[in-house]
Amino acid sequence: MSDLRLTHIGGPTALIETGGWRLLTDPTFDPPGQRYRFGWGTASHKSAGPALAASDLPPIDAVLLSHDQHGDNLDRTGRDVLRTAPTVLTTPAGARRLGRGAHGLAPWTVTRLHAPGRPTLTVTATPARHGPPLSRPLTGHVTGFALTWEGQQHGALWISGDTVLYGGAREVARRLAVGTALLHVGGVRFPITGPVRYTMTAAQAVHLCRLLRPRTAIPVHYEGWHHFHEGRDAIERELARAPADVRDRFRWLPTGTATDITA
């Protein structure tokens, strides 16, 4: 049985440990109370800090960065973390902006991480769309990641990235067997754009899990920011209406605590 340990640090940020590898998703380590602009008249305040400080992290082998253009997925301290990581995987546009050896992956591009004495990690970039149709010129490009390695029993570890439920996310369900899904939820919206959502709502996450049928679905990216409009309570209300075979797949991780997951 494959070992997998996840630590939800806060927001979209999680530490993934398996087979001697340590990977970090979307590093956000700034303290709360700051305001961040996202462009086109949108902005938000950070209301909660990370459960672990950047200085508390173990050495990181790679960062999986869904996108670099928004401060709730890569903040100022997170950029310092990037500079310490040997490998940064992100979107092609993000890699061009970041430089410093960041590797850009187009959707369905595959790369592999190798190290002596460790299993090879296969990383597949998966489609993501950070808003409604035609929103990419405003929100920029985003990617998800699917991780596979020898010994997995239940399928890939999939990190959705900031995405709504759309054809690309449904394609993941068709093309991949997913054992563990880290779902970026929160139903993000801004006053200036009214009811438009930029990440999955609770209802979308539940619907996607009906398609994916992962062994374990773990919500992230639902707390700590003012523009996250669907927190844990909203997700639990939606789960209460869901069929038991979907509801029982969801698992909440305590922030800052390493949790073992059957992979």
Token pair belonging to 78: 């997170």
pLDDT in tens, 132-141: 999 998 899 9
The CA distance from 113 to 62, in Å, is 9
Count of domains forming the chain: 1
pTM of the model: 0.96
Question: Alpha-carbon dihedral of residues 184, 203, 108, 159, nearest 10 degrees?
Answer: 30
Q: What is the CATH number of the domain that holds 199?
A: 3.60.15.10
Residues spanned by the domain of 196: 3-262
Question: What mean pLDDT, rounded, does the chain reach?
Answer: 96
Residue with tokens 């991480």: 113
- Please report where in the chains the tokens 């899990």 appear, as a residue: 209
Whether pLDDT at 2 is above 70: no
Residue 39: its pLDDT value, please? Answer: 82
pLDDT band at 45 (very low <50, low <70, confident <90, very high): very high
Write the CB contacts of 262 (distance below 8 Å, at least 6 apart in sequence): 1, 4, 153, 154, 215, 216
DSSP 68-87: SSSTTTS-HHHHHHHHH-SE
Dump pLDDT digits (tens) for 189-201.
999 899 999 999 9
User: Residue 123 corresponds to which tokens in the numbers above?
Assistant: 């990383």
Average pLDDT over residues 145-153: 95
- For residue 248, count other CB atoms closer than 10 A to its CB: 12
| Residue 1's pLDDT band (cuts 50, 70, 90) | very low
